[in-house]
Structure formats: C-alpha cells, structure tokens
Structure 1
C-alpha cells in the first residue's frame, strides 16, 4: 500500500508542477501583451456619438503608436484623465504638437472662442459630440505620457464589429 501512496503523490506533484508552469506562462503572456502591445477597453457615454454607441462599446487598443508618439489627427485614443487619474476617457486627436487649434469655449455660446498652439510633446483631444464632451477644451492639451493607446477595433456591439473608420466630416 505504501508504494501506491508514493506513486500517487509523485504523479500529483508532477501534475501540479505542469499546471503551475502553464499558469505562469499564461500570466507572463497576458502581462506582456496587455502592457506592451494592446488591451481591451470599455467605453460608454455620449461624447463620441456618432462614432461610438453611448450605451457601451468594447474596443481593442494598441500601445505601440502611443509609446512611440506616432499619433495622427483623427486617431481615437485612450488616455489617463489629467483631472482624475482613475478615469481613462476615449477621445479623438484633433491636433498634434505645433498645430494651431481654434475652439468655442461653450458650444451653446458661439461668441466665446479661443486659439491655442499645441505644445511640443502634447496632443489636443476632443469628443465627436462637442456639445456633451469633457475634453481638451476644459483641461488643455494632454502630454503623450498620459496616452495609453490608440483604438483600432470595435469588438462589441457585434453588428458594428470591425476597424474604426476615419474621422467624421
């Protein structure tokens, strides 16, 4: 009976080692993928209507463009809010460093406008639905360091699955 007990524990320990190694490899793969390549993100709210649905979207974003500062006007980005570091809004890049941006301070009041030059190392972001969007018009240009990724694909809702197109005109 003792030999059966020893073989059981030998088999159990080998299986545990295999499972542990698999879990460690899976964790490492997910860590590298989400921290250096891309990640899923959830977006809801009216600020990006008509591009994104106000009731919710699951999107895939990539980190390589944001880290290499290769963003273009029209790109949709995920960034850490300069007002609340726990929030990650999603907006469209309207201006890159050196661009001269003119905007209306309050969309309902067309009388007050302002012009700004986007400083080096920053981007200007705005929601597609400017009447209901908290964006660079309120908190100014955001540094590249706060940009976490560039949105490439919409995964959900399924009827709109696919790459996100160019900026609306």
Structure 2
C-alpha cells in the first residue's frame, strides 16, 4: 500500500470519527442522555445506582411542570449535579427556606425538593433555583431492569 493510499484512508476514517463525535455531542447536549442517580434525596422514588433517561427539550422550551423530576447543576456547587422534583413554579407560594416563612418563587426560577424530605439538601436550604441550571427532565428509569418504569405523568 502506498503512502498516499494510507493518508487518504486515514483521512476518510478521521472524517467519519469527527462526524460521529459531532452527532453524538448534539444528541447528548440537545436531545437526551443517561444519568446515574446517587444519594438518598429522592428515595423511595429513585435509589442510588438507578440509571435514568433524561430529555433536554422540555427544559429548553421552558415547558416544565410541577411534579416533574429534573436534573440540574447544584446552585451551591456547580461541579455537582442534583436530581429533584419540581414543587413550585414561578409565582407559586412555597414554604421558604430558613429563617423565612413562605415566599413566592421568582420569575425564571423553580422550587426543587427531594422526595425524601428528611434527607435532602434542596430549595428549602438554598432557595429558588434558576431555570438555566436545569439540564434535563427525567423520563424513565432504565436500570435496574426489573424496575424499568416511566417517571412522567404524561
């Protein structure tokens, strides 16, 4: 095989690799991906080591609803991701975080709480979460196989 043939075939292969990487990036960034759930804050709904499928279209279109389970960047530690349920939308009156009583969720924010209220660091501690921090809406649990289930109301 000549040098030119090797270069031509290598270039074609690199082109396919780059195209595949770009398509994969776009799907993961804009359509959906799989997330490993860790921590006790969403028990008993979700448990540590559950694998979830999340979609990214609903948050981008700002079509989130009360009761949706979402993944987001943690407002107090951007290196950490959180998985919580939306319990308040903009304009909703919610039981505020300490030391305040109740408060209204501001525009552009949501109120997130874990299902395990005794063991969840959530909006009751850090307040309303900007909608821009939300990464995806949980659609279903895909692992463990015997617990595959939809996690949406619609």
TM over 0.5: same fold? yes
**Which consecutive residues of structure 1, in runs of 5 or more, have no partner in the other structure?**
1-6, 106-111
Pick the aligned partner of 2:49 from 56, 63, 76.
Answer: 56
Structure 1 counterpart of 2:102: 115
1:99 alignment counterpart: 92
Match among 79, 90, 96 for residue 86 of structure 1: 79
Closer/same/farther in 2, CA of residues 140 and 104 from structure 1, 3 Å limit: closer
Residue of structure 1 equivalent to 2:137: 150
Aligned length: 153
Local SS of the residue matching 1:93: strand
Greater Cα offset, 77-86 or 33-42: 33-42
Q: Give 2:26's aligned residue.
A: 32
Displacement over 3 Å in runs of 4+? none
Check if 1:141 corresponds to 2:141: no
Q: TM-score, structure 2 length as denominator?
A: 0.91
For 2:5 and 2:149, locate their aligned partners in 1 and report how far apart those are by CA, in whole Å: 47
* TM-score (norm. length: structure 1): 0.83
**Larger Rg, first or second structure (1 or 2):** 1
Compute the displacement of 1:61 (Å). Answer: 1.1
Deviation for aligned residue 1:8: 3.3
Find the aligned partners of 1:121 and 1:103 in 2 and give their Cα distance: 17
Once the two structures are TM-superposed, the CA of residue 104 in structure 1 deviates from its matched residue by: 8.2
The residue aligned with 1:128 is 115
